[in-house]
Amino acid sequence: SAVISQKPSRDICQRGTSLTIQCQVDSQVTMMFWYRQQPGQSLTLIATANQGSEATYESGFVIDKFPISRPNLTFSTLTVSNMSPEDSSIYLCSVGQNNQPQHFGDGTRLSIL
Amino acid sequence: GENVEQHPSTLSVQEGDSAVIKCTYSDSASNYFPWYKQELGKGPQLIIDIRSNVGEKKDQRIAVTLNKTAKHFSLHITETQPEDSAVYFCAASSLLGANNLFFGTGTRLTVIP
């Protein structure tokens, strides 16, 4: 399966600031997804990162808060904007191909003070 | 949309015993059901998956069963070992790989040596 690298692995940020998380895959993949995992909770899909076009956001998530880029088939970024303590979560990148399971990176652990 | 329920939320077993985790789903269009294991500080790792045209799948000590009529599927771990201790998530999707995964709420499994 693809090797997925996320940076940073963790960060502590001040409220009101923004952080960009990077996801790099070692091979071209069709689909890239961004998930949020709140403390002790399950995973919720934020959006599907589409190569060359705007991301597709799930209900409850908006582009102004979570802008996403996907310039090519191996790389995507998620920005968490104007952060508040409620944004403290693990943010996970996953990748998928048609007829192949999704695989996850190790996530970015984000704490907002 | 899809709703996946998972039980129990916590499970403790003695080493060598079996562990069973159960999930139900609501959307009859779901046809792909993966199980992920998440260790502390790591992203979810796929351990086994099953498609709706199969009733059971086994991989060494791990097996998954699916009852499509009743809309439930289960993870069975036999001869548990301390390294099996982790949080396990079930998920459901209507399109393998290239679609949203709807996750259960997770089961924290503790294997007592």
Distance from CA of A41 to the nearest CA of B (A): 7
Read off the pLDDT of each residue in A20-28 and give the average, rounded to a whole number.
96
Count Cβ neighbours within 10 Å for each residue of B87-108 and write b for 16 or more, e otherwise.
Answer: bbbbbbbeebbbbbbbbbebbe
Q: What is the pLDDT of residue B98?
A: 57
H or E stretch at B21 = strand B19-25
Cβ partners under 8 Å of residue A72, min gap 6: A51
Confidence of residue A23 (pLDDT cuts 50, 70, 90): very high
In angstroms, the CA A85 to CA A14 distance is 9
**Token pair for residue A64?**
């102004």
**pLDDT, chain A, mean:** 94
Q: pLDDT tens across A33-59, in order?
A: 999 999 889 999 999 998 888 899 999
Give the bridge partners for A23, in sequence order.
A6, A76
Report whether pLDDT(A73) > 60. yes
* Strands annotated E in chain A: 4-7, 10-13, 19-25, 31-37, 43-49, 56-57, 68-72, 75-80, 89-96, 103-104, 108-112
pLDDT at res. B25: 96
Q: What is the mean pLDDT of each run of 10 residues along chain B (113 residues)?
A: 93 98 95 95 95 90 96 97 97 76 95 96
A·B CB contacts under 8 A:
58
Identity at A46, one-letter amino acid code: I
CA pair distance A29, B100, nearest whole angstrom: 15
CB contact under 8 A, B34 and A43: no
Q: Mean per-residue pLDDT for A68-91?
A: 96
Q: Which residues contact B60 (CB under 8 A, 6 or more apart)?
A: none
pLDDT attached to residue B96: 62
Shortest Cα distance, chain B CAs vs residue A103, angstroms: 7
Instruction: Average the pLDDT over A23-29 and give the result.
Output: 95
